[in-house]
Amino acid sequence: MLLVLVAFLLPVSLVAQRKGGGQRPTGTKERSSVSKPPADREQKPAEGAKTGEKSSSGNVDKQGNNNVNVNNNKNVNVNNNKNVNVNVNKTVVVANPRPYPRPPYTYGGHAYYCYHPYAYHPYHPYYYGPMWHPWGFFVATLAATAIIVTVTNQQYHYDQGVYYVASSGGYTVVQAPVGATITTLPPGSQTVVINETTNNYYYGGTYYEKSDKGYTVVPPTAGSVVENLPEGGKEVKIGDQTYVQVGDTYYQPIQQNGKNMYEVVDVKDDK
């Protein structure tokens, strides 16, 4: 009888264990079914980013301002490197017969002669109008008013105070060639007193002298004083003084009658 009872209860016990085998003891936590990525694969904020910052197509500074990349440089079709010669030995001016009332300023083996005392003021290029262009400027076509001027077998095109030479695909502005003669001066030309008997005429960095056929381009005369210098010049620091170089000519900033002016410097070797 006992054996029969045991045989009956044993299967019932096994069935109960199978049904309750999936339950965990009280207090045991189940693991998540989603695996946590390894530490080295966790996503981190971008370097320098702060929690709560929004993505931006521009840079964001510490104050939260968007920094937009802006190129403020304007493309100007002027090649100044080919038109500015910094070798003072090549400065070409006509000597002035008047004696200088003061000794020259000397520096670096050169002597800088001027009639007026040095008075620095910043160089501000003068605007000569839309038809005037600095040396090195390129244009594809010329105005119908341009004329041909020939100097020592070299052909130039002249229009309203500006000289051009033909170049690939157009024309390039060049320094006025000495010896070129035009019949009328460009509007806005100024008279420059050289001495008691001679005057020059000045426009946009170019000097003219009255001739039988009109007005002929001449080199600047030492001591000539002009009020305006054209675009294309640059300030050059020489020792304690700052000059403005336009082409191969040096100008000393001066004051005359209370106005800012420029005087053509005579540069010589300091012997």
- pLDDT above 70 (res 125): yes
pLDDT at 271: 77
pLDDT at 257: 94
pLDDT at 34: 36
88 close to 110: Cβ distance less than 8 angstroms: yes
pLDDT at 103: 95
- pLDDT above 70 (res 171): yes
Please report which confidence band the pLDDT of residue 89 belongs to, taking 50, 70 and 90 as the band edges: very low
Nearest C-alpha neighbor of 128 from the set 230, 208, 227 = 230
- The better pLDDT of the pair 188, 45 is held by 188
pLDDT at 195: 84
What average pLDDT does the segment 30-48 reach?
A: 40
What average pLDDT does the segment 150-169 reach?
A: 96
- What ranges in 54-166 are assigned the alpha helix state H? none
pLDDT at 64: 38
pLDDT at 92: 84
- Cα separation, 159 vs 142, in Å, equals 8
Nearest C-alpha neighbor of 221 from the set 261, 265, 176 = 265
237 close to 112: Cβ distance less than 8 angstroms: no
Torsion of CA 235, 126, 138, 200, to 10 degrees: -90
222 close to 264: Cβ distance less than 8 angstroms: yes
First-to-last alpha carbon distance for the chain, in angstroms, is 144
What average pLDDT does the segment 249-269 reach?
A: 97
- pLDDT above 50 (res 235): yes
